[in-house]
Amino acid sequence: MTAPITVALAGNPNAGKTTLFNALTGARQHVGNYPGVTVEKKEGFHVTPAGITINVVDLPGTYSLTAYSVEEVVARDYLVQERPRVVVNIVDASNLERNLYLTAQFLELGVPMVVALNMMDVAQDRGIAINAGRLAELLGVPVIPIVARSNKGTAELMAAVLALAEGTTAWNPLHLSYGEDLDSVLLAMEKEIAAGGFLTALYPPRWLAVKYLENDSEIRARGIGENPAVAAALAQKVQEVTDHLQKTMETYPEAIIADHRYGYIKSILRQEVVVRTYDADRLYTSDRIDRVVTNRFLGPIIMLAVLFGLYKFTFTYSELPVAWLDGFFGWLRELFGLLLPEGYFKSMLLAGVIDGVGGVLGFVPLIMFMFFGIAILEDSGYLARVAFMMDRIFRMFGLHGSSVMAYIVSGGIAGGCAVPGVMATRTLRSERERLATLLTVSFMNCGAKLPVLALLTGVFFASNQAQVMFLLTLLAWAVALLVAKLYRITILRGESTPFVMELPPYRLPTFRGLMIHTWERTWQYIKKAGTVILAISILLWAMMTFPGLPEREQERIDAQRQELLTGYPAEVVQEATEEGAEEEGLSPAAEELLAQLDGLDRLEAEKALEYSVAGRIGRTLERVSWLAGFDWRTNIALVGGFAAKEIVISTLGTAYSLGEVAPEENLSLAQTLAENPDWNPVMAFALIVFVMFYAPCFVTVVCIARESGSWKWGFFAMGFNTVFAFGLAVLVYQAGMALGLGG
Amino acid sequence: MPRMMLRKMKRGQSGVIAAVKVGGELGRRIRDMGLVPGTRITVQGRAPLYDPVALRVLDSTLTLRNNEADHIEVDVS
């Protein structure tokens, strides 16, 4: 048996590449990453009716084969290094001229190619008739009309692919003419390249020469590594002709090359390939929708409604499955709680493993619903309109119009979640804007911060809690955007990526496409983030548990407990310590004993926490944290909050000897804080500010590391945010106290 | 045909691109999307804050920011 042949799918974004890939491979696909970059690599298998297996690789969608975007470099590196047997170039028949620009570049590279003329139905509706046979003749490659959405023509397409695969494997580069000036210099450069054997193992000589003329940074860097002398000679020639063109025509070689490529395409299309029945300026349905949807007044209103709808959809509909999962893990916790003997193993299994796995899976419904919602917006074409409308505002902060989605999902409307928010930045194509967005989305008030904020505002700003909460949402937006701006003028400095972007025609998303989209992204989260999150969860548990109470302390508490028990008559002790004693009507003496025992248990938990690694960290940090008014108890709670922000509350409860406090039922904690003389509105506000902006929870940190492609950014977010938040908190506390607002 | 900057064109106005005077990444992106001399364009609309602008080009709709449109000269019909 021979190895299956490999076929690469390539084409413009929005040409229907993914639809064709799904139609060909069905569920037999695998998503990974190209080495070293965050660009997704999708592979799958297609089995022909004759039983031949074909390995299909979905290359990233590109408009060109330059070195300007990661996608383009990935696509072309794949072609020259992996040398797929056949390239299927998907071309949007309703937008032929622009799509053929990439086709022309494939022809120049010389890859064995079949053109899949997709969306023939749309073209027909628009009154565009295309003579595929004539086009094939003029391009010199097979052209197969298909409709990927309804799987029409894919069998013929694969037959053409197989037929081509059986033929020669040699590449056959097309030589376009770029006009006198460039052609003569190209010829000279080609000679130089061929004579020096310069990179010719990978690239055709003329293609290399054209890339040099186009000022392709990646090829140039490669050339210098290969042979500096030849590289210098080529660069010299390019410089000469560039200067000449600047002087005589005020233009660039790359502009002339593009003009001639389009000229080549136009000359082909003019030879009876395309016949139009309607006027080219005719309004399409899509344009009519845009008249309303991007209207000056209606547009923003509709957009707000849609974004709010996405938010509601994500967080409302996921509530039920989240509750199921919560219930399931609660049940699991209880089950193991009953089955296992007391001890560190039990504690680790419950607090480390079950809570950790529960934590990972708890996000899954959220992520699924969010990606489903985004897939609808993306596949229908609306997302591009959002970017179009919001760009002016977000550009002021060095971001991109598409950033808005990530912020909203993260809690721009209070109560989101930064984990799906970080993952939503995938829709951003430009690297610097994407990084600036994904590093700042965690500043939003996510659902886990809300109970903390609600508790503190409820205690200290009870008279105008709603206003304060609203103010905090605005504060989150302001800080996120300003920090993004700060990043964009410092560590992520650089020109904004050109916005030149396509507004694809509106299309009804296919259910199958939506499902595949949603599932593969969700699965990636489970697979990639899951393991790390479990490990960190266990680590955090250990930090809050070990080394435990020193023997002396333990003995003291045990002695107290013993003393308490011996102080009561035996039947009262029996009554109070029986299984299920808490529920039944007890005698007053037993109740009193139980309350005292409880108090002792809580004291023990508090002491254990104080002596744990986290407690020691909290104590040590007190030396600095008093600047913001935080004592060691608050510090421990904040360390715990790294696991998940709502844990701040339960840890504060333990630290104040209140036992386990559920985030929603925090009356006792609220009362304790209100009565505690160390707490005042200024300190509470400093704490609010700190909780809002300090290190993202570790699930978010893991996602930041995964999505940015480097742990460097995960650690950066932890470090920067904590220092930044502490600075703000100190500012609030010191200014507030100086103004005498501490009461 | 009067020649004007793309930024100055009004909604619904059409013309043929006369020159694209920018190199580098932006120039490449502009050309990749089919905005080369000789291409016919129509201004389809503008975003609510008048920026970016949406163009009908070669059967598709493109958007670009005003400061990017500043590099493009159009012979208005």
- Apex A466 CA angle, A460 and A470, nearest 5: 105
| Least confident stretch, A13-27, A91-105, A152-166, A682-696 | A13-27
Strands A128-130 and A86-92: unpaired
The pLDDT of residue A571 is above 90? no
Question: Mean pLDDT, to the nearest integer, of A549-563?
Answer: 82
Question: Mean pLDDT, to the nearest integer, of A431-457?
Answer: 89
Q: What is the pLDDT of residue A565?
A: 80
Q: At a CB cut-off of 8 Å and minimum separation 6, what does A550 contact?
A: A611
Tell me which amino acid residue A120 is. M
C-alpha distance from residue A451 to each of A355, A666, A681 (Å): 19, 9, 17
C-alpha distance from residue A202 to each of A57, A197, A207 (Å): 20, 10, 11
Question: Mean pLDDT, to the nearest integer, of A658-682?
Answer: 74
The pLDDT of residue A707 is above 90? no
Tell me which amino acid residue B1 is. M
Q: How many CA atoms lie within 13 A of B32 on its CB side?
A: 27
Mean pLDDT across chain A, nearest whole number? 86
Residue given tokens 């560039």 in the structure block = A242
Q: What is the pLDDT of residue A529?
A: 64
To the nearest whole angstrom, how far is the Cα of B61 from the nearest Cα of chain A? 5
The pLDDT of residue A667 is above 70? no
Cis ω before B52 (30° cut-off from 0):
yes
pTM (predicted TM-score) = 0.80
- Please, which residues bridge with residue A43 across strands? A30, A57
- Residues in A closer than 8 angstroms to B63, CB to CB, are 384, 388, 499-503
Q: Residues A500-538: pLDDT tens digits?
A: 888 888 988 888 888 887 887 788 777 766 666 777 778
Q: What is the pLDDT of residue A158?
A: 94
Q: Residues A65-78: pLDDT tens digits?
A: 987 777 888 899 99
Q: Residues A207-256: pLDDT tens digits?
A: 999 999 998 888 999 999 989 999 999 999 999 999 999 998 888 899 99
* C-beta separation of A422 from A442 below 8 A: yes
- Apex B41 CA angle, B38 and B44, nearest 5: 175
Q: How far apart are CA B53 and CA B9, in angstroms?
A: 10
C-alpha distance from residue B56 to each of A290, A447, B34, B59, B61 (Å): 12, 42, 11, 7, 5
Q: How far apart are CA A644 and CA A358, in angstroms?
A: 12
Q: What is the pLDDT of residue A238?
A: 94
The pLDDT of residue A741 is above 90? no
Contact A388 B34 (CB under 8 A): no
- Apex A111 CA angle, A110 and A113, nearest 5: 115
- Residues in B closer than 8 angstroms to A499, CB to CB, are 52, 63-65, 68
Per the structure block, which two tokens stand in for B64? 């670009």
Maximum Cα interatomic distance, chain B, rounded to a whole number of Å: 30
Q: What is the pLDDT of residue A397?
A: 94
Strands B40-46 and A53-58: unpaired
Strands A5-11 and A86-92: parallel
> 3-state DSSP call for residue A247?
helix
Contact A498 B30 (CB under 8 A): yes
| Least confident stretch, A7-21, A71-85, A661-675, B19-33 | A661-675
- Residues in B closer than 8 angstroms to A266, CB to CB, are 38
Q: How far apart are CA A468 and CA A454, in angstroms?
A: 10
Contact B48 A389 (CB under 8 A): yes
> 3-state DSSP call for residue B61?
strand
**For residue A167, which phi and psi values (nearest 5 degrees)?**
-80, -155
> 3-state DSSP call for residue A223?
helix
The pLDDT of residue A27 is above 70? no
- Residues in B closer than 8 angstroms to A502, CB to CB, are 33, 60-63
A502 touches chain B (CB under 8 A): yes
**For residue A16, which phi and psi values (nearest 5 degrees)?**
100, 20
Q: What is the pLDDT of residue B52?
A: 92
Nearest alpha-carbon partner for B12 in A94, A283, A386: A283
Nearest alpha-carbon partner for A426 in A477, A385, A375, A391: A375
Q: What is the pLDDT of residue A583?
A: 56
Listed by number, the residues of chain A in 194-253 with a beta carbon closer than 8 Å to a beta carbon of chain B are 214-215, 250, 252
Q: How confident is the model at residue A602 (pLDDT cuts 50, 70, 90)?
A: confident
Q: Residues B48-71: pLDDT tens digits?
A: 888 899 999 878 899 999 999 999
- Please, which residues bridge with residue A58 across strands? A9, A42
Contact A393 B49 (CB under 8 A): yes
Q: What is the pLDDT of residue A183?
A: 94
Q: How far apart are CA A458 and CA A688, in angstroms?
A: 12
To the nearest whole angstrom, how far is the Cα of A65 from the nearest Cα of chain B? 9
What's the CA dihedral at A701, A703, A708, A712 to 10 degrees? 30
- Residues in B closer than 8 angstroms to A294, CB to CB, are 45, 47-48, 54
Q: What is the pLDDT of residue A244?
A: 93
Give the distance from CA A597 to its chain's centroid.
49
Q: How far apart are CA A180 and CA A462, in angstroms?
A: 79
Q: At a CB cut-off of 8 Å and minimum separation 6, what does A623 contact?
A: none
A259 touches chain B (CB under 8 A): yes
Question: Mean pLDDT, to the nearest integer, of B9-27?
Answer: 89
Q: How far apart are CA A380 and CA A375, in angstroms?
A: 8
Q: Given strand A501-503, what is the order of strands in its sheet? A: A501-503, B60-64, B53-57, B40-46, B14-20, B72-76, B3-5
| Least confident stretch, A60-69, A223-232, A568-577, A594-603 | A568-577
Question: Mean pLDDT, to the nearest integer, of A264-273?
Answer: 92
Q: At a CB cut-off of 8 Å and minimum separation 6, what does A443 contact?
A: A476, A479, A480, A483, A692, A693, A721
Q: How confident is the model at residue B5 (pLDDT cuts 50, 70, 90)?
A: very high
Contact A98 B60 (CB under 8 A): yes
> For residue A286, how many other CB atoms are within 10 A of its CB?
18
- Residues in A closer than 8 angstroms to B37, CB to CB, are 259
Sort A701 into a burial class: Cβ within 10 Å, 0-12 / 13-18 / 19+.
buried
Q: What is the pLDDT of residue A637?
A: 86
Q: What is the DSSP string of A261-312?
A: HHHHHHHHHHTTTEEESS-TTPPPHHHHHHHHHT-TTHHHHHHHHHHHHHHH
Q: How confident is the model at residue A617 (pLDDT cuts 50, 70, 90)?
A: confident
**For residue A44, which phi and psi values (nearest 5 degrees)?**
-160, 175
Give the closest of B26, B39, B60 to A498, CB-based: B26
The pLDDT of residue A281 is above 70? no
The pLDDT of residue A712 is above 90? yes
pLDDT higher at A349 or A700: A700
To the nearest whole angstrom, how far is the Cα of B2 from the nearest Cα of chain A? 20
Question: Mean pLDDT, to the nearest integer, of A200-208?
Answer: 90
Per the structure block, which two tokens stand in for A96? 């032929």
Using the 8-state DSSP alphabet, how is residue A409 labeled? I
Question: Mean pLDDT, to the nearest integer, of A710-727?
Answer: 95
Q: Which helix (H) or strand (E) holds A670?
A: helix A667-675
- Residues in B closer than 8 angstroms to A281, CB to CB, are 14, 42, 56
Q: What is the pLDDT of residue A153?
A: 93
* C-beta separation of B52 from A388 below 8 A: yes
The pLDDT of residue A662 is above 80? no
Share of chain A above pLDDT 90, in %: 37
Give the closest of B31, B40, B51 to A255, CB-based: B31
Q: How far apart are CA A145 and CA A13, in angstroms?
A: 18
Nearest alpha-carbon partner for A455 in A713, A673, A682: A673
ipTM of the complex as predicted: 0.94
Tell me which amino acid residue A386 is. V
The pLDDT of residue A481 is above 90? yes
Q: What is the DSSP string of A65-94?
A: -SSSSHHHHHHHHIIIII--SEEEEEEEGG
Question: Mean pLDDT, to the nearest integer, of A601-625?
Answer: 85
Q: How far apart are CA A307 and CA A405, in angstroms?
A: 8
Q: What is the pLDDT of residue A144?
A: 96
